[in-house]
Homo-oligomer: A and B are copies of this chain.
Amino acid sequence: MIHDVLINKLNRIDVLGGDVLQFLKNDDIGYKKFGEIYCSCIDYNFIKGWKKHRLVTLNISVPVGKIKFVIFDERAGSISFGKFHEIILDKNNFCRITIPPLLWVAFQGLEQTSSMLLNLIDYKHNQKEAENCDINTFSYNWSK
């Protein structure tokens, strides 16, 4: 596991006519403050990444489909420096991941229909605050 990344199980509450899916409360572990929340869709096998935030902490869940996240730690002095961590989120592993700044993140759609994540961030989206690099920059094998 990557140091400082949190993974918390979420409840999917069985309700007549349609389930309720928990995501985040203001006293949950991993919540800092509210900047913005948005959804990001991801097509089957497509990969978005790598992206690194300088300031922003991500709080992510996957209410639709199945998505693999890979996190890469390039933080000097981190006890997990140089490590990759992969996690697959879907209905069967319904969790919230909290990812602090300065980690590289990429994700891939694993459902044949489109998948969708929710991301609550502690600062409003600002392209200048984030860095992007090509998916081949780090040696993770996406085809395994």
Chain A residues within CB distance 8 Å of chain B: 15-27, 33-43, 46-48, 63-64, 109, 114-116, 118, 120, 124-125
Q: A63-B116, A64-B64 are in contact. Are A26 and B36 (CB under 8 A)?
A: yes
List the number of copies, as a whole number: 2
> Is B26 touching A39 in the complex (CB atoms < 8 A)?
no
Roughly how many angstroms separate A116 CA and B21 CA in the complex, as a whole number? 10
> Is B18 touching A46 in the complex (CB atoms < 8 A)?
yes
CB-CB under 8 A from A124, the residues of chain B are: 25-27
Query: Would you mind naming 20 contact pairs between A and B with Cβ atoms under 8 Å apart?
Result: A16-B46, A17-B42, A17-B109, A18-B46, A20-B40, A21-B39, A21-B41, A23-B38, A23-B39, A24-B37, A25-B35, A25-B36, A25-B124, A26-B34, A37-B37, A37-B120, A39-B63, A63-B116, A64-B116, A118-B118
